[in-house]
Structure 1
Amino acid sequence: MTIKAVIFDLDGVIVSTDQYHFEAWSKISEEEGIPFNETINHQLRGVSRMESLDIILQRATKTYSDEEKLQLAEKKNEYYRQSLHHLSPSDLLQGVEYTLKTLKQNNIKIAIGSSSKNTPTILKQIGLDKEFDAIADGNDITRSKPDPEVFLLAATRLDIVPEECLVVEDALAGVEAAIAGKMNVAAVGETLRSSDADYYLESVDELLELVL
């Protein structure tokens, strides 16, 4: 395996904002009188905001128009964005800083491939907005994971063919997107042990053994 670039998902791989998402969706659900819990929240990992909203609204007792859905999604995002101001470099997940530094020292290109439209804000808050060779996020794409669009765009911006990219993901939709894009994929965390990922990592820094 020749790997010339590593493309990282953001949330759950570089930094965790899962709790902020959960709190924002909980607030929306409570306001609308819709059941919501950690089990439902787990179904939202790696999918777009509108797709997440559709999953939540499956349990609603009323029908929402497209305009009402957009308003709810925007309100959720505002709750979430308010929480992001609490993020700092100390919130980087274990091994991330060392991994990025080591990859760059070994001339392995690094990129972000995230469906989140809040990617620029998050990267700035955690001090990594200047660290990556390329960034592809929800502002650049029309199809969210499991479609491979965001990863293929990151590879294009890196000028590296997909087969020479390793994607690091913590969500099933992301693993499926990487596979669909003909990329190698490493899954982080226990929940993806049964996925079709090529490699399984306990923490991000373990990927160094794969590419160096």
Structure 2
Amino acid sequence: MTLIKACIFDLDGVLVNTAKYHYLAWKRLAAELGFEFTEQDNEQLKGVSRMASLDILLGIGKLNPDESTKQEMAERKNNWYVESISKMDPSEILPGALEFLNECRSHGLKTALGSASKNAMTILNNTGLTPYFDAIIDGTRTSSAKPDPEVFLLGAEELGFSPAECVVFEDAEAGIEAARRAGMRCVGIGGAETLGKADLLISSLEEMSVDRLLRELVVS
């Protein structure tokens, strides 16, 4: 039997409510470029890196700028986003997240962050979440975006456990796929229509407990 020894958490949409700030920044960029970017369009960007997100947005707008222009656009969007998250506080931690992180640590489970965000440390510090993690792997430490498993494999390596001993918590299809490619079990936070490949589905971390985790995700 393979025991669960560590939990690796995505950030946006799992622990904190930053998705709205990403969406508003992308929507503002699209408006400046002359087209509409809807919440439905934004679903394609979940768990995707900044430049890959920009490529999706530009595809929606049927635009094909040169590389230097794309870099400027990505920087502009990120500046708007950073301005928003710089005002975050602990009130934006999602329901159940703090309680479950505390429970994991009290039961001896190691915890890591596995996020594509290059602004993860700003968010963690502003919300007071930094001390809850034994390892923090973010977009500044990875070269490949999800669904590549790099971010989760680095998390497992830094914690000192095999992929089979780790469980990932994700709200994005690309993140679920990354966890599967890493050889890790995965809890999806959201709907079955996009996260159906997860080993366990919940609507929020309010539904999660260490007891349930160990009971429902045991692998012989």
Q: Residue 15 of structure 2: SS of its match in structure 1? A: coil
| TM-score normalised to structure 1 length | 0.96
Q: Distance in 1 between matches of 2:16 and 2:60?
A: 30
Aligned to 1:210: 213
Partner deviation per Cα, 1:28-48 (whole Å, 9 max, x = no partner)? 111111231111111111100
Where do 1:35-74 residues align within 5 Å?
35-74=36-75
Checking the alignment, whether the CA contact within 8 Å between 1:34 and 1:57 is kept in structure 2 is no
Checking the alignment, whether the CA contact within 8 Å between 2:48 and 2:174 is kept in structure 1 is yes
Partner deviation per Cα, 1:108-164 (whole Å, 9 max, x = no partner)? 000100000000000001001122000101000110000000000010110011000
TM-align CA RMSD: 1.4
Q: Which amino acid aligns with 2:128?
A: G
Q: 1:159 to 1:58 in 2, by over 3 A?
A: same
Q: Distance in 1 between matches of 2:101 and 2:87?
A: 23
| TM-score normalised to structure 2 length | 0.92
How much has 1:191 moved relative to structure 2? Answer: 5.1
Checking the alignment, whether the CA contact within 8 Å between 1:201 and 1:207 is kept in structure 2 is no
Q: Residue 43 of structure 1: SS of its match in structure 2? A: helix
Aligned to 2:135: 134
Q: 1:196 to 1:180 in 2, by over 3 A?
A: same
Q: Distance in 2 between matches of 1:184 and 1:78?
A: 35
Q: 1:80 to 1:158 in 2, by over 3 A?
A: same
Where do 1:109-148 residues align within 5 Å?
109-148=110-149
| Number of positions where the alignment pairs a residue of Structure 1 with one of Structure 2 | 212
Q: Distance in 1 between matches of 2:174 and 2:202?
A: 17
Q: Distance in 2 between matches of 1:193 and 1:43?
A: 11
Checking the alignment, whether the CA contact within 8 Å between 2:146 and 2:175 is kept in structure 1 is yes
Q: 1:30 to 1:193 in 2, by over 3 A?
A: closer
Q: Distance in 2 between matches of 1:101 and 1:135?
A: 16
Q: Residue 132 of structure 2: SS of its match in structure 1? A: coil
Q: 1:192 to 1:125 in 2, by over 3 A?
A: farther
For structure 1, which runs of at least 5 residues remain unmatched after alignment? none
Where do 1:89-128 residues align within 5 Å?
89-128=90-129
For structure 2, which runs of at least 5 residues remain unmatched after alignment? 216-220
How much has 1:195 moved relative to structure 2? Answer: 2.0
